[in-house]
Structure 1
Amino acid sequence: MAKKIKKQKDKNVSVKTEKPNEEKNVKKQEENTGFDKSKTYSVEKAVKFARETSKVKFDPSVELHARLGIDPKKGEEQVRGTVVLPHGTGKTLRIAVFTSEKNEKDAKASGADIVGGEELINQIKQSGKVDFDVAVATPDIMPKMAPLAKVLGPKGMMPSPKNDTITTKIKEAVEQLKKGKIVFKNDDTANLHVALGKLSFDDNALKENIETFIAVLKKSKPASSKGIFIKGLVLSTSMGPGIKLEI
């Protein structure tokens, strides 16, 4: 009868699986800069910490996240609007203008990247592809754009008079968007997120962009909203820690 031979573990071989140290690295970065995530800071100080705690190898966006005192389920408490940032967003927008044939020449002269009417509408409807960042339309073409609601709606790109993207003043609309006009809107959890520039901007440019946006946001409180409107503001960079702002 063959004897069973027990396999012995090789004590000289040790397999160790190490967990990523990303959280430790971020915490260390925060400690080195004096940043305390439990405290609130002025815009100027927050920009400083955003710069010092960012360690990515690309030029990250500087983002602002707002927690609002609204009921997102109520239509009358939706927060949306536009603001022209004094120093732009750092991103070159591709703008599409939807208009009738008689206005196409003026639309092209405005600096729009894409201009078209029914043919452009059908093209997007069939392909479902969108290769622009913002859609602007003249009122006369809007009835024909209804089929694009399923494509542009979920992306928040359907032209609307509420954000000045349905207009007869095409040149003015395109110029403002190119200069840094952004559209903001709350999400289903009563939060709002916007990119307000790039970390490569100088401190003053970031400060002015942030303060300009906050000033407009404060004026956007719905009449039916009761209590505190802006419950919290957090500044961050892409993949960076959240820095609480003084309100």
Structure 2
Amino acid sequence: MAFDRQKLVEAVKEAKARAKPRNFTQTVEMAVNLKDIDLKKPENRFKLEVVLPHGRGKEQKIAVIADGAVAEAAKKLGLDVFSGEQLEELANSPRKARKIAKEYDFFIATAPLMPKIGKLLGKYLGPRNKMPQVVPPTMTNLEPIVEKLKKTVRIQLKDNPVVHAPIGTEEMEEEKLAENAEAVLNAIINKLQRGESQIKSVYVKTTMGPAVKVER
């Protein structure tokens, strides 16, 4: 890959150094600018889920929409659970549906409830790229899925030739943030028709800090 791991480390280190102290833990983000790509063609757009080797550095909020065995398994893991009956209640409460879609980072749902979810929550989850991960209604061990989602970031290429992704927090080590950035870059490169030659530039920054270019 044209991006050396050490160059990523140096850019992350500079971005953290240039960020002014804030009264909250800032996210470290990256922006990957692309070139020579026609986004009018749907096949050139993409949505991806990338598992970061070192996680997000902060807790992800995961909700489960299920009844029966899956609901019980979710409760044992301390997850918020919405039953099929509660889902029906959202039909008359767009405000609550919108709030739920905004509040949680990821959703897990059982297959039989997906038609209802599409009808009642689809218009709120779809634009946020948060449609649920579907599991069988008999699944009793959600832990592997939950642990994976805690380390996952969703990225997409839509109308503009740039992909944004969080790669951790400012409290994480530079090397770990660089490895997370590398995972995102590799995922993007694998989706591009001509690979890394279509990457114009890469920047990293903290939430409120200035962007720092990753040298090649």
TM-score w.r.t. structure 1 length? 0.71
Partner of 2:46: 79
Cross-structure match for 1:135: 107
Distance 2:34 2:86 in 1: 38
Pairing of 1:32-71 with structure 2 (within 5 A)? 42-57=7-22, 58-69=24-35, 70-71=37-38
Higher Cα radius of gyration? 1
| Contact kept in structure 2, 1:95 and 1:112, CA below 8 Å | no
Q: More helix by proportion, 1 or 2?
A: 2
Alpha-carbon offset, residue 102 of structure 1: 4.1
Q: Which runs of 4+ in 1 moved over 6 A?
A: none
Q: In the alignment, what sits opposite 1:157?
A: 130
Q: Deviations over 1:66-95 (max 9, x none)?
A: 123433333211222222212211221110
Deviation at 1:227, TM superposition (A): 9.2
Quote how far apart the aligned CAs of 1:65 are. Answer: 0.6
Q: Residue type of the partner of 1:154? A: P
Structure 1 pair 124–68 and aligned structure 2 pair: CA distance change class (3 A): farther
CA distance in 2: counterparts of 1:50 and 1:233, whole angstroms: 13
Query: Cα distance, 1:148 vs. partner?
Result: 0.9
**1:141-174 superposed Cα distances (whole Å, 9 cap, x missing partner):** 2111122112222222122xxxxx2234643221
Cα distance in 1 for partners of 2:195, 2:89 equals 45
Greater Cα shift, 128-137 or 89-98: 128-137
1:3-18 alignment, distance < 5 Å: none
Report the AA paired with residue 185 of structure 1.
Q
Q: In the alignment, does 2:138 pair up with 1:171?
A: no
Q: Distance in 2 between matches of 1:173 and 1:108?
A: 14
Q: Which of the pair is proportionally richer in strand?
A: 2
CA distance in 1, matches of 2:65, 2:163: 28
Query: What is the CA–CA distance in structure 2 between the aligned matches of 1:72 and 1:138, rounded to whole Å?
Result: 33
Higher relative contact order (CA 8 A, sep 6+): 2
8 Å CA contact 2:189–2:196 kept in 1: the answer is no
Counterpart of 1:232? 201
Offset at 1:230? 1.9
Structure 2 CA distance for aligned equivalents of residues 226 and 113 of structure 1: 39
1:216 pairs with one of 182, 187, 190? 187
Name structure 2 gaps, 5 residues minimum: 1-5
Paired residues in the alignment total 198
Which amino acid in 2 is paired with 1:108?
K
Q: Deviations over 1:99-146 (max 9, x none)?
A: 24343222333x362223322323444223213221122222211112
Q: Summarize the Cα distance change of 1:113–1:233 in structure 2 as closer, same or farther, 3 Å threshold.
A: same
Tell me, yes or no, if the aligned pair for 2:16 and 2:205 is still in contact at 8 Å. no
Q: Which stretches in structure 1 are left out of the alignment for 5+ residues?
A: 1-40, 160-164
> Could you say what secondary structure the match of 1:42 adopts?
helix
Q: SS state of the match for residue 158, structure 1?
A: coil
Cα 1:103/1:238, change in 2 over 3 Å: closer
Amino acid paired to 1:53: R
Tell me the secondary structure at the aligned position of residue 140 of structure 1: helix
